[in-house]
Amino acid sequence: MENKKNLEGGRVLLTNRKFPQKESKKHIPCKFCKKKRAIFLRNIESPWMKRKFPLYFCKSCKSRFFKNINNKKFLESVYALIANTEKGYDLKFNISSSWVKQRRIIQKILGKNPDSILDIGCKTGDFLMHFDNSFREGVELSKKHAKIAKKRGLYIYNNFLEDINFKKKYEVVTAYAVLEHLDRHEKFMAQLKKIVRKKGLLVIMIPTSECLKEKILTFFNKRWIMYSPPEHLNFYSKKYLDNYLSSQGFKLVYRYWSSGENFNHFSNVPFIGNLFKKIINFMDNSFFNKIPIFDHMYSFYRKIN
């Protein structure tokens, strides 16, 4: 790979001759269901580099994707950049209402506090720190974030999930904002099946293109922020994700949609910004979260066999 890094403005500009530049006008095999029913939608300009990537849509499984890109080195560069530019990370731990909500849902589904939990992409371990009496472990690529998490007393695997040889299974495995980054998802998903205990819980959060927000932005010819190649490559449909995990022995038990709590275009306008924040918060925590208005889809799966 020929890389050229430029951290100006928080961007990583990579030059790679292997990245796709031209779209195919023919049906191609779907990255997920493998059926030759994927069609070109449009080119999306990357926020990370001066290059456009073809976005495809599968008529069969309804998923969207950017074609396979060997982006492991890219992801390592991105995570290192994020870790070096983000401020405020230290050993001090603050309770987060978002993670409290996740903990309560998990405890409600299980009927108890989990005795073991693995968080994939755990960063500094904030989510794991919300569980007091669990055996807590994490997977994190950023060495800087992993170092902080370890200092907090957490056991951290500083590697890609599919490259880790786990010696145990967990009652709860979580993967928040991870699956969209995967270049080849098969090994990752196979590893998930291995490490979740029977009757255990798999929690997944992905950005979904099957939402009102993406449709509105596309209608006005605006780039949905989640279309971010080669960082974000996969946009699994509900249909595909549920069917695939069902074939792996998982049953969907709960699902909701959220704004991600960072959706406020009026944050710099005092009165309007505060009002907009309250409206979004209400929609995130009311019956509206059962409707795919926003783009963060949370899915909870029980392993039944």
HEC readout, the chain: CCCCCCCHHHCCCCCCCCCCCCCCCCCECCCCCCCCCEEEEEEEECCCCCCEEEEEEECCCCCEEECCCCCHHHHHHHHHHHHHHCCCCCCCCCCCHHHHHHHHHHHHHHCCCCCEEEEECCCCCCCHHHCCCCEEEEECCCHHHHHHHHHCCCEEECCCHHHCCCCCCEEEEEEECCHHHCCCHHHHHHHHHHHEEEEEEEEEEEECCCCHHHHHHHHCCCCCCCCCCCCCCEECCHHHHHHHHHHCCEEEEEEEEECCCCCCCCCCCHHHHHHHHHHHHHHHCCHHHHCCCCCEEEEEEEECC
User: Does 256 score more than 60 pLDDT?
Assistant: yes
Question: Domain containing 237: what range?
Answer: 89-303
Per-residue pLDDT tens digits for 78-93 = 666 666 666 656 677 8
> Does 6 map to a domain?
no
Q: Are strands 170-176 and 116-120 parallel, antiparallel or unpaired?
A: parallel
**Can you read off the two tokens belonging to residue 3?**
């890389």
Report pLDDT digits (tens) over 152-202: 999 999 999 999 999 999 999 999 999 999 887 889 999 999 999 999 999
pLDDT recorded at residue 90 = 67
User: 30 lies in a domain?
Assistant: no
pLDDT in tens, 94-119: 899 999 999 999 999 999 999 999 99
**Residue that is written with structure tokens 């029977």 in the block:** 198
What is the number of domains present in the chain?
A: 1
Please count the other Cβ atoms lying within 10 Å of the Cβ belonging to residue 177: 16
Looking at the domain assignment, is residue 177 inside a domain? yes
- CATH number of the domain that 94 lies in? 3.40.50.150
Domain-located, residue 285: yes
Instruction: Output the CA angle 224-227-233, nearest 5 degrees.
Output: 160
Q: Is residue 42 part of a domain?
A: no
Q: What is the pLDDT of residue 234?
A: 96
Q: Specify if 234 maps to a domain.
A: yes
Does the pLDDT at position 228 exceed 60?
yes
The model carries a pTM of 0.87
Q: Answer whether residue 67 is part of any domain.
A: no
| Amino acid symbol at 213 | K
Q: Would you say residue 118 lies in a domain?
A: yes
Which of 197-201, 218-222, 259-263, 290-294 shows the lowest mean pLDDT across its residues?
259-263
List the structure tokens of 180.
Answer: 């969209």
Question: Which of 5-9, 56-60, 203-207, 274-278 is least confident?
Answer: 5-9
